[in-house]
Structure 1
Amino acid sequence: MKILVICAIAGMAISGVAEARGSNSVRGHIRSNGVYVAPHVRTNPNSTKLDNWSTRGNVNPYNGRTGTVDPYRPSSSNPYGSPYNNRRSSPY
């Protein structure tokens, strides 16, 4: 019984850390094109793509998947890429 209580407290602490790091829950919904999106957890929106779980170099703490998205590639909504995410040129 003691171990069960300790595990429950540890689980709440871990989920609290994930929430404090800037994530939120998304309810399941149907998109305008009729596709169902299952409930999931995502990072809060901000001005950078570097801290998203799907970005290359990051790991999603909820499912263990490694990110594959190149944060520097321009997108359709921002064809020039984000100034916060542009690679810096070497001074040499």
Structure 2
Amino acid sequence: MNRFLLLLTSMVTLTICSQVYADTHVKGYTRSNGTYVQSHYRSGKDGYHNNNWSVKGNVNPHTGKPGTKDRW
């Protein structure tokens, strides 16, 4: 029974963490106008505007900067 509870707890924790930290690394690139964009992280796409780090009330966990865009 203890093994089952440990396994269940581990699975739930991993599921929650994978959703919370669903971020994507973007490699640096050069735009067509010659401007270089440094590599960075962005929040994972999930179809919800308010989940993005750039939205007010959210904080980018990699930079510590708060969001500045209005919620919908």
Structure 2 portions without partners, runs of 5+ = 1-16
Structure holding more helix per residue: 2
Gaps of 5+ in 1: 1-16, 73-92
Equivalent position amino acid for 1:30 in 2: T
Tell me which amino acid in the other structure corresponds to 1:47.
G
TM-score by length of 1: 0.53
Tell me the residue number matched to 1:66: 66
Q: What are the Cα deviations for residues 7-45 of structure 1, in whole angstroms up to 9, with x where unaligned?
A: xxxxxxxxxx5xx22101000001122211100011112
Identity among equivalent pairs (%)? 41
Taking structure 2 as the reference length, the TM-score comes to 0.66
- After superposition, the C-alpha distances for 1:33-83 in whole angstroms (9 at most, x for unaligned) are 2211100011112211111111100011111111110132xxxxxxxxxxx
Map 1:1-92 → 2, pairs under 5 A:
17=17, 20=18, 21-72=21-72
Look up the equivalent residue of 1:62 and give its one-letter code.
Answer: H
Superposed CA RMSD in Å reads: 1.3
**Structure 2 CA distance for aligned equivalents of residues 48 and 35 of structure 1:** 29
SS in 2 for 1:50: helix
Moved over 4 A (4+): none
State how many pairs are aligned.
54
